[in-house]
Every structure is written in C-alpha cells, then in structure tokens.
Amino acid sequence: MFSSVLIANRGEIALRIARTARRLGMRVIAVHSEADAEAPFVAFADEAHCIGPAPARESYLVTERILDVAKKTGAECLHPGYGFLSENAEFAEACAAAGVTFVGPPPSAVRAMGLKDAAKALVEKAGVPVVPGYHGDIQEPAFLKEKAYQIGYPVLIKAVAGGGGKGMRRVDKHADFEEALASCQREAQNSFGNAHVLIEKYVLAPRHVEVQVFGDKHGNVIHFFERDCSMQRRHQKVIEEAPAPGMDAATRAAFGKAAVDAAKAVGYYGAGTIEFIADGSRGLRPDGFYFMEMNTRLQVEHPVTEEITGFDLVELQFRVAAGEKMPVAQGDLTIHGHAVEARLYAEEPERGFLPSTGTLHALQLAGGEGIRIDSGVLEGGEVTPFYDPMIAKVIAHGANRDEALDRLRDALLDSVVAGPKTNTRFLCALIDHPDFRAGRLDTGLIDRNLEALGAVPPELDRAAVAAGALALLGEEQMRLADAGLARSGWASDPWSENDGFALAPGRKGSLRVKAEQEEIVLPLDASASEIGEALPGADRDFTLVAGGEGIFVLDRGRQVAVSIPDPLDVSFDDHGGDAGGLVKSPMHGKLVALFVKDGEAVEKGQRVAIVEAMKMEHPVLAPRTGTVEGIAFEAGAQLGEGARIMVIAEAE
C-alpha cells in the first residue's frame, strides 16, 4: 500500500478520499485554491499547498502546479477524485512521467472512453448495444442539422468530452437546432476545452441505469451491480439509488455482462461506470437498453453502491492502483437492502434552480439510523460562484426502498441550513411523489411535475415574515431599553448605525422590515400579541437563525430572509425608476455573451445575454418589448446577483 497520497480535488470528494487514505495509514497531501484555504478538506490533510486563484482553470486544472506539489512533497500516488482532471488522459500520463502513480485507469482507457463518439464505436464492436445516431468527425452546423433531421426528432446533442449534464441539449424541432447546437458547443468548450459534439436519437421515457465496474491490473473485471439515476433535471442527477427499481435477476445479469464486456474492450482497471439508457415505457428488460458512455472515474453517487455491498470503493481504488488483485469475485457479491442519495444543493428550485451563494450561517445536517452524510463545507463557510453548489450528499440505507426513502426524507427535513437557499423542500416533494414512490421512473418525471414539486415561484409565507419581524422588533426594543430610551422613542442621534430605519420619511417610532420584495412597517411599541393579530401565524414552529443583516426563518426546508433595509442603499427599483425594464443578473456569475447593443429594439422574451455560473449557462431574457439602454458590462465581466446588466426602455 502507498505511504502518501496527493488529492487533486476539493470539497466533499477530497475529504471523503482523505478519510479512507488516513484509515489506510497514508500521509494526506491536499492542494487548494485561494478560495478554499479554510475548507474542511484542507484542515483535515496532513499538509496542504495553495496552487492558485479561485477559478478552477487557474488552480485545480493546472497540471504543472499540481505535479510540482507532488514532486516537492514526495507523494507516492495521486487521486484525482471526480471532475477536474480525473478523466484527462494527458494528466494521467504526466503523473506517470513524474513518477507518481495515478489512482485510476490506464491513460489508454481514459482516452478510448473519453470521447463519446469513439467509445460508442468501440463498444459496438464488442457486442454492446448503442443508441442510433451520428458519432462522426464532421462538425459543420448545416451537416449536423441534416443528420438530426435524418435521425428524427427529438434528438440529443451531446459534447463528446462531456459529463455532468454540461454540453448537452435536447432538441424537439428542426427550427431550434442551430441555436441549441451553438449553446451546446460553447458550453462544451468552456467546460471541457472541446466543442466537438455527437447527435443521437432521444429515447422516449428514458431510464438512466449505470453499472459500477471494477478491474485490476491482472485482467480481472467484475461489476458491483447497478444504480438508477433517472431522477434528473437538465441531465444533472438529483436523486440516485441502488439497486434499480424493477430490475429482475435476468435483466441485472444482462446489464452486468454488457458493462463488463465494455470495460474489458479497453483493458480497464480501477473504478469505472458504464452508463446505459433504457426505454422506461416497457420496463427494464434484458434486450431493452443501450450504451451511452463510460465514466473512467469514481462517480458522485458511489456511496449508494458502498451501502448495498459493504465495500469501500476508494479503498479498492488504492489497492488496485498499488497492484493488488481484486479481493472479491463476482459470485461473492450480494445486495443488502436499498440505498438512496440526494444531492443537497445551494440553489433555488422556485427560480429555475439558479445557484444560491453566500455564507452558511447555520449548517446542521441531521443524522440517524441508516443515514450517511458526505459534505465538504462547515457552518460559517462560504458557498462561492466558482464551484459546484453542492452542500452535501445525504445517503440513506434501509432494509427496503420505502424505508430508505423515509429515512432520507426525514433527514432532509430535520436538517437546518441558513444563508444560501437550498433544494431541500423540492427533494422531499420528489421523494414523496406517487410516481417516484411507485418506481414509475424516467428522466422526464421532474420536468413534467415542476409545479407539483414546488419548483415554481411561491407565495410569500407571511407567517414566516411575521415571525422574523417579531424577532427583529424584539431585538430593537431591547436595544432601545438598554440605551434608556422609551420603547416608542427615537435614538438621540438619527444617523447612528443601528437607527438607519428611522431615516425613512413618516416612519418615526417605527421599524421597517423587508422580506423578499415586500416591506412591512411596525410600531416600535408593538407587543407580540399585536404583531400576531396584524400578521397571523407568527407563533408557528419556525427555526430562527440570526445572520447577515437580519433573521433567516426556516420551516422544514424553506427559508425566508427578513431584514431591516438600509435606507442609504439606493436601488433602481426603490426610487421611482422604471423597474419594469430592468435586466438583472439572476445570480453571481460571468457574463459570457451579450446579444444586443445600446439603441437596439428587442421583443419581450428575446434572449439578450447569457450568464454562466458553476459552468452552466443561464439565458437572460428581455422583460418587455422596447429599446436597449445603458448596457453596464462587457462580455467576460463577473457579475453579482441582481447586478444591473441593462435597461429595456418601453416602446412608445
């Protein structure tokens, strides 16, 4: 076994790898960006080295800096985790050239499976079924559009070097193809440095089922059963589980054989995942699935496989990389119960799943029987716009599927996260959706049920606002009492830091409270009972967390921020301006494209810009018909959430 490991990754996966390495007696070496200097994985390591600024392309994706640390520290092996450089054949070769063992498959296998078009051709020769489509080298838009027409809509455009749902678009109409292709290629280039795409038939009612394979350097390849990853949105996995619902023994054997055959076709060793797509309308059958791609690395959802098999897959990765034989044969593996994983993200399902950033003022993730938490952040830490917005993976194991799902839902609802908004309530609604509970799965289930799952703008929870307002009022009354002032009186200095609210005209002796886009004015001498009468529901069982400029009011996964607005913070919306035409950045991110210029006429709903965050593109649309005025940024600028990009003046 190795004596030391450099972990070329960050967040929860870096910490998860480090824990296994420490248990195996290795010295743990971390590399980190400037933004991650205080991260838990850095603190856990035996030593840590900064390799650059926050953007991944200037730190975690710079091979030379990572290998300089490996050489300086004498690291025996390097574990790439997932994402970043984990599926980069050149990086694996550079590790070998530097005398550092790459904990992963041979570079030849990474290269063979790294491009989806080549991978499909390779496994097809090995007898593995593939989805009909075009996987060639010609990339002219007109040619690809014609191929899509020949294949028949709907089609899927996929980056050949892609993964994680990036660089992927479903197209339903011939007229929409060119725009979808351009967006897909741009996102693929930004994420993977390769704009090459393939076109394939979109399988209706698709089930996404993947098989965990493992090989050693002695020619042994086995599988650790399957995982169902059909609960997706925009091709990004939301909930994963093992085993797959509705999978019988004969179908499992067929999936497993195809996966092992595909791995053997490239001389594979280490951990890998063969991803298949099946026609869910007819159920899972031995002759009803197709190869999609191979991930030549550990998967985000690997914990559910660990839970049902009892094996530490990271430990197996280290042992295989060190030259050991697989410690188990295929016939020795059995499935124990059911496991399900939810990705707890800092995002807002109610606003199109936009990422949510900021300080984690509270982070208390509930445990309990059968619950495992894999997280890379701590209370007081930051969710930044530079990386994936995952807060934690919450994994539940049970004797059966219903027990696992119940445990997962309860753990999510009992957790407390304040600051960035999360997808907690959405995840719980999905867990309890009748189709999901019944195992009636396909990758379109979420998109068909967004409203039922709560992924639509909600009405403001006025009871939550009341609870927050009451707490802020109590704090202000105590402050005034400590200062020896009457409950309804003014502070002696109206410009004092804590009395800004008093500057609002006509608000003497009152407190202005803001929640979402609404404001409430409360008398400073109001009692709790009076507040309760004016704003019913304040006595509901909320969790209150102080932070930032106010109070976060939490109710089983939903959060309302209640604060005292700063009257000196002049905004376009609050001071008589025409806010109806204001075009704002929906999140912290990068302005990657502008499609209009000052003076240009636009139609309501027209795409005027694209903002990128966490490597995902988000279109910005004109809020009305009119003329573009006052473009505030050039393409390439970093934007804060709510930053004014431009104004659309109303058409006369």
Give me the active site residues, please. Answer: 297
Q: 3-state DSSP call for residue 335?
A: coil
For the chain, state the CA radius of gyration: 27
205: left (phi over 0), alpha (psi -120 to 50) or beta: left
> Per the structure block, which two tokens stand in for 31?
């590399």
Cβ–Cβ contacts within 10 Å for residue 485, how many?
15
> Per the structure block, which two tokens stand in for 220?
């042994």
Residues 6+ apart with CB under 8 A from 397: 307, 308, 337, 338, 339, 370, 372, 404, 407
Cβ–Cβ contacts within 10 Å for residue 380, how many?
13
Distance, CA of 512 to CA of 206 (rounded, Å): 51
E strand intervals along 174-283: 197-201, 206-215, 221-233, 236-242, 270-279
- Print burial letters for 88-125: b (CB count within 10 Å at least 16), e (below 16): bbebbbbbeebebbbbbbbbebbbbbbbbbebbebbee
Q: Determine contact, residues 557/428, Cβ cutoff 8 Å.
A: yes
Q: 3-state DSSP call for residue 435?
A: helix
> Per the structure block, which two tokens stand in for 249?
């023994």
Query: Between helices 313-321 and 302-309, what is the axis angle to 10°?
Result: 100
Q: Which helix (H) or strand (E) holds 523?
A: strand 518-523
Distance, CA of 72 to CA of 93 (rounded, Å): 19
The backbone torsions φ and ψ at residue 178, rounded to the nearest 5 degrees and listed phi first, read -60, -45
For the chain, helix (H) and strand (E) counts, in that order, are 17, 36
Distance, CA of 538 to CA of 544 (rounded, Å): 11
Distance, CA of 88 to CA of 501 (rounded, Å): 55
Handedness of CA 321, 323, 329, 333 (dihedral sign): negative
> Per the structure block, which two tokens stand in for 505?
């005209």
Handedness of CA 421, 423, 428, 429 (dihedral sign): positive
Q: Name the residue among 591, 586, 574 with its Cα closest to residue 632.
A: 591
Rounding to the nearest 10 degrees, give the CA dihedral for residues 603, 606, 610, 613. 110
